[in-house]
Amino acid sequence: MVLADLGKRINNAVNGALSNSKDDYTTTVDIMLKTIVTALLESDVNIKLVSQMRNNIKSKLMESKTASSSVTNAQTKKLIQETVFDELCNLVDYKSDQPFQPKKRQTNVIMFVGLQGSGKTTSCTKLAVYYSKRGFKVGLVCADTFRAGAFDQLKQNAIKAHIPFFGSYTEADPVKVAAEGIAKFKKEKFDIIIVDTSGRHRQEEELFKEMVEISNVVKPNQTIMVLDASIGQAAEQQSKAFKDSSDFGAIILTKMDGHAKGGGAISAVAATNTPIIFIGTGEHIHDFEKFSPKSFVSKLLGIGDIESLLEQFQTVSNKEDTKATMENIQQGKFTLLDFKKQMQTIMKMGPLSNIAQMIPGMGNLMSQVSEEETSQKMKKMVYVLDSMTKQELESDGRIFIDEPSRMVRVAKGSGTSVFEVEMILMQQQMMARMAKGAQGAGGMPGMGAMPG
Ligand code: GDP
């Protein structure tokens, strides 16, 4: 069962309980818990965890009910929703979900471990970009001499992301390469050095021995295990084995965009008492989100997660562009160029379904419209805006109303229809009106006005 299905089933169970007025309270709670338990077990969450969670929810709900005999229906609903939400958070919360805070005036080393194919090399680069964007000088070291092509892969990723890197085509000893890389970047006063190590297809003695040897040499300030979210029950045992050899202090969960059961990963967290710090949501460098138990559960239940949305928006948006748009809005203006920049930022944020999940109420809506369809629509809008002249883009759009022949020209140039151009102008006009309303308040026009 994929994670989205798990969320839907838990939601249905809670909603079912909330709308059920026939049965008495205890029966209603029992029916709801049975559905939640089945859904979690089918998603590979460890049975011990599930039964513990079931007992916690049940006792909390029963206690609250007996503590006050005069609770209203609305209060009961709120209580059920909150209790289920809190317990789901507890399942994935190890109290410290913050990324490692590098120490000032010293070189910090972060070492990655994980099986081959888990997404280690990709995640190393994503983390390097995360710290680099926050002003740290970051270097990448490829200590994977086992897999042919590993260095080339890291090199390509690093070049694309503009991160300095180190590796060797000739040295076969990963410990030596790691030591050399660390020495080089330390000498150059790098703040953070991220060391990518080799993986194997299976857990093997050799691999664990190598991890210990590299770790003894690089002396990491933090070791991160990369875990593929789609591996199901195997996650628990795999993470325990890595914990014994390399004692990692954090987990990055990858491929959360795919058909991940996710439950195995939840069990891995519990089995090793280690927090998830980031999740990988795609192959692109920006498909990387800080993990927060509340955000994770909110998304799981389709409640939406504005906090993550804003953080992602800030990460991908161009600071200069945002500043210029904000200045315009403060003057009550919102030009076609502002509109175009906002569209481009949204498109950079990754699959639209990911973004929709963060907007309250949008997750369910998006599942009814195909990703392809929405993305095509947005691309067309950018083509239309691309066909406009500088003068038109910097205008408030009224220029098109004064001279409708401009619409015909833009439609022709972008391979769209006049109707489509008109629709975009209407959107921009709507936002411009909102900007006028927000004048002085410093607000950003809502993205809810985007066509779906
Ligand atoms: P490594 O062998 O552990 O270093 O794994 P790689 O970094 O080479 O990743 C293996 C494959 O998984 C590559 O094709 C990556 O592009 C892909 N990958 C990594 N992270 C993610 C993710 O979060 N989502 C998706 N869809 N693919 C990912």
Q: Which residues pair with 228 in a beta bridge?
A: 254
- Which protein residue has the closest C-alpha to ligand 1 atom 9? 119
What pLDDT, on the 0 to 100 scale, is given for residue 393?
94
Fold assignment, 108-297:
Rossmann fold (3.40.50)
Instruction: Give this complex's ipTM.
Output: 0.98
Residues in Cβ contact with 93 at an 8 Å cutoff, skipping those fewer than 6 apart: 275, 293
What pLDDT, on the 0 to 100 scale, is given for residue 310?
62
Structure tokens at 274: 């280690």
Each residue's pLDDT tens digit, 122-173? 999 999 999 998 889 999 999 988 887 889 999 999 999 999 999 999 888 8
Of 1-10, 240-249, 340-349, 432-441, the range with the highest mean pLDDT is: 240-249
Residues in Cβ contact with 421 at an 8 Å cutoff, skipping those fewer than 6 apart: 384, 400, 407, 410, 411, 414
Domains 3-92 and 308-449 alike in fold:
no
The pLDDT-based confidence of 306 (bands split at 50, 70, 90) is: low
Residue ranges per structural domain of the chain: 3-92, 108-297, 308-449
Most ligand 1 atoms within 8 A of CB, residue of 120, 225, 283 to mutate? 283
Most ligand 1 atoms within 8 A of CB, residue of 238, 254, 291 to mutate? 254
Region of poorest pLDDT, from 115-119, 226-230, 371-375: 371-375
Q: How far is the CA of 164 from the centre of ligand 1 (A)?
A: 20
pLDDT for 392 beyond 60: yes
pLDDT mean across residues, the chain: 81
Among 298, 295, 297, which residue's Cα sits nearest to residue 308? 295
What pLDDT, on the 0 to 100 scale, is given for residue 309?
61
**3-class DSSP state for residue 143?**
strand
What pLDDT, on the 0 to 100 scale, is given for residue 129?
94
The distance between the two most distant Cα atoms of the chain, rounded to a whole number of Å, is 76
Residues in Cβ contact with 445 at an 8 Å cutoff, skipping those fewer than 6 apart: 329, 334, 431, 434, 435, 438
- Which protein residue has the closest C-alpha to ligand 1 atom 14? 283
Please say whether the beta carbons of 318 and 370 come within 8 A: no
Distance CA 68, CA 73 (A): 12
Ligand 1 pocket by Cβ (under 6 Å): 114, 116-122, 153, 199, 254-255, 257-258, 280-283, 287
Q: How far is the CA of 243 from the centre of ligand 1 (A)?
A: 21
Q: Which atom of ligand 1 is nearest to the CA of 288?
A: 23
User: How far is Cα of residue 238 from the mean position of the Cα atoms in its chain?
Assistant: 23
Of 31-45, 75-89, 120-134, 312-326, the range with the highest mean pLDDT is: 120-134
Q: How far is the CA of 383 from the centre of ligand 1 (A)?
A: 31
Among 273, 333, 263, 329, which residue's Cα sits nearest to residue 296? 263
CATH architecture of 308-449: Orthogonal Bundle (1.10)
Q: How far is the CA of 120 from the centre of ligand 1 (A)?
A: 7
Region of poorest pLDDT, from 80-94, 364-378, 391-405: 364-378
Please say whether the beta carbons of 197 and 113 come within 8 A: yes
- Which protein residue has the closest C-alpha to ligand 1 atom 20? 119
Structure tokens at 443: 């607000």
Q: Which atom of ligand 1 is nearest to the CA of 287?
A: 23
Distance CA 62, CA 407 (A): 64
- Which protein residue has the closest C-alpha to ligand 1 atom 2? 117
Name the more confident of 405 and 375.
Answer: 405
pLDDT for 446 beyond 50: no
What pLDDT, on the 0 to 100 scale, is given for residue 323?
77
Each residue's pLDDT tens digit, 323-346? 777 787 778 788 898 888 877 877
What pLDDT, on the 0 to 100 scale, is given for residue 333?
82
What pLDDT, on the 0 to 100 scale, is given for residue 447?
34
Q: How far is the CA of 280 from the centre of ligand 1 (A)?
A: 9
pLDDT above 90 covers what percent of the chain?
Answer: 29
What pLDDT, on the 0 to 100 scale, is given for residue 260?
63
What pLDDT, on the 0 to 100 scale, is given for residue 357?
61
Q: How far is the CA of 284 from the centre of ligand 1 (A)?
A: 9
The pLDDT-based confidence of 402 (bands split at 50, 70, 90) is: very high
Of 144-148, 175-179, 271-275, the range with the highest mean pLDDT is: 175-179
Q: How many CB atoms lie within 10 A of CB 431?
A: 25
pLDDT for 361 beyond 80: no
Backbone φ and ψ of 57, nearest 5°: -65, -45
Among 234, 235, 233, 215, which residue's Cα sits nearest to residue 224? 215
Q: How far is the CA of 282 from the centre of ligand 1 (A)?
A: 8
What pLDDT, on the 0 to 100 scale, is given for residue 185?
96
pLDDT above 70 covers what percent of the chain?
Answer: 81
Q: The whole model's pTM is what? A: 0.66
Kindly state which CATH superfamily the domain 3-92 is placed in: SRP54, nucleotide-binding domain (1.20.120.140)
Distance CA 7, CA 262 (A): 11
Please say whether the beta carbons of 279 and 252 come within 8 A: yes
CA-to-CA separations, 40 to 34, 106, 245, 266, 445, in angstroms, rounded: 10, 44, 29, 10, 39
Please state the rounded mean pLDDT for residues 301-312.
61
